[in-house]
């Protein structure tokens, strides 16, 4: 639940970084992305300069225009600048001019190759020709089979390594992760981060998973996970009593993730964790007042009480009500 001010700061910083990454002046950037077919700019250099320096509502206009032109997802601009830089280095090649990037970006988007690679490896896992810990084919062989360049395959493999799907060992090769279940969860993760237009659908899925997680948690006998949930619940209470908004918001997210962990279902846990982390980056709202703090505290208390009482039906019902009210409190819910 990133604060709206922080979100706006990320956007302006990332727009400025993109312009510099493309080696464009502000005038050239406007001509490239913010002008109509007749070359008439939609904003002045002074306005754009002010957006880069201070931000403002029109920064979204810039982001939409650039994203459409380069085939990027708008949500990338809401990420932390460090993460945005990492994504940008993967999505846009720095050694090509802007015109060639515009023509080739959509055709060679790294996310498309990532999906193809994950499906390729997944099929081999299903038919038992690969298992966790096995060495996979070289980037040369993969490039030939997928009909793409070796450099593109290497970049995609680096992403899969970061996401924990594979293990790249210098001098030895590339190996399937010891947690092979990642292949059936991580593709969703990447899709969520790169396809912001699906936010409403993503949240519908999250609500279904959250309710089921609460129900399963009420039946849980996993002492370690339940103790962790108890600890987080106490932290929420302490943050509420001390009116520590940031601590409360952090604990709010951890409560939902831990509840999913208590469910005992690894897929539910992984998906809720992924979606929760996504919402940290794209949320454009924050806590408005003390009344909302109290509402969420009381709603969490009801869910936690039902879990402690092993009341599956009540836990699901209270979580469903909590999520319904949350949609009214936050723009993204």
* Token representation of residue 63: 């982001």
Sign of CA dihedral 279, 333, 331, 295: negative
Tell me the pLDDT tens digit for each residue of 38-96: 788 999 988 898 888 888 888 988 998 888 888 788 888 888 887 887 777 777 654 44
Strand boundaries in the chain, DSSP class E: 166-169, 173-176
Confidence (pLDDT) at 276: 77
Q: 30-44, 92-106, 249-263: which range is least confident on average? A: 92-106
Tell me the pLDDT tens digit for each residue of 121-179: 877 877 788 888 899 999 889 988 887 778 888 888 887 786 677 888 988 999 988 76
Q: Which residue has the higher pLDDT, 234 or 103?
A: 234
Tell me the pLDDT tens digit for each residue of 196-243: 455 667 778 888 999 999 999 999 888 888 999 999 999 999 998 988
Using CB atoms within 10 Å of the CB of residue 11, give its burial: 0 to 12 exposed, 13 to 18 middle, 19+ buried: buried
319 has pLDDT over 90: yes
In angstroms and rounded to an integer, the radius of gyration of the C-alpha atoms of the chain is: 23
Give the list of residues 6+ apart from residue 93 with CB closer than 8 angstroms, or none: 101
> What number is the average pLDDT over the span 317-327?
90
Work out the angle between the directed axes of helices 110-126 and 139-146 (0-180°, nearest 10).
100
The residue written with tokens 């929760």 in the block is 276
Task: Determine phi and psi for 135, rounding to 5 degrees.
Answer: -80, 135
- DSSP letter for 325, please: H
> What is this structure's pTM?
0.51
Q: For residue 284, count other CB atoms closer than 10 A to its CB.
A: 17
* Token representation of residue 62: 């810039």
* Token representation of residue 2: 């990133």
Say how far residue 60 (Cα) sits from the centre of its chain. 19
């Amino acid at each position: 639940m990133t604060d709206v001010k922080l979100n706006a700061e990320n956007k302006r910083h990332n727009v400025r970084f993109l312009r510099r990454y493309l080696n464009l002046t502000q005038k050239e950037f406007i001509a490239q992305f913010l002008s109509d077919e007749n070359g008439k700019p939609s904003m002045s250099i002074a306005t754009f300069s002010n957006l880069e320096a201070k931000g403002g509502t029109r920064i979204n206009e810039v982001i939409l225009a650039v994203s459409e032109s380069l085939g990027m997802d708008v949500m990338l601009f809401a990420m932390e600048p460090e993460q945005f830089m990492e994504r940008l280095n993967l999505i846009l090649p720095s050694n090509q001019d802007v015109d060639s990037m515009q023509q080739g970006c959509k055709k060679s988007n790294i996310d498309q190759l990532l999906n193809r690679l994950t499906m390729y490896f997944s099929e081999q896992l299903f038919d038992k020709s690969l298992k966790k810990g096995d060495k996979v084919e070289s980037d040369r062989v993969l490039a030939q089979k997928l009909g793409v360049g070796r450099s593109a395959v290497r970049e995609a493999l680096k992403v899969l390594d970061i996401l924990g799907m594979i293990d790249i060992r210098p001098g030895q090769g590339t190996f399937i992760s010891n947690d092979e279940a990642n292949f059936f969860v991580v593709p969703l993760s990447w899709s969520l981060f790169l396809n912001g237009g699906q936010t409403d659908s993503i949240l519908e899925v999250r609500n279904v998973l959250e309710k089921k997680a609460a129900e399963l948690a009420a039946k849980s006998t996993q002492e370690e996970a339940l103790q962790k949930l108890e600890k987080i619940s106490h932290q929420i209470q302490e943050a509420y009593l001390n009116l520590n908004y940031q601590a409360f918001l952090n604990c709010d997210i951890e409560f939902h993730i831990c509840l999913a962990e208590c469910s005992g279902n690894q897929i539910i846990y992984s998906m809720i964790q992924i979606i929760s982390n996504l919402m940290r980056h794209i949320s454009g709202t924050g806590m408005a007042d003390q009344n909302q703090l109290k509402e969420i505290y009381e709603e969490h208390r009801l869910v936690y009480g039902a879990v402690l009482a092993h009341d599956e039906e009540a836990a699901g019902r209270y979580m469903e009500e909590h999520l319904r009210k949350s949609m009214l409190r936050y723009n993204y819910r």
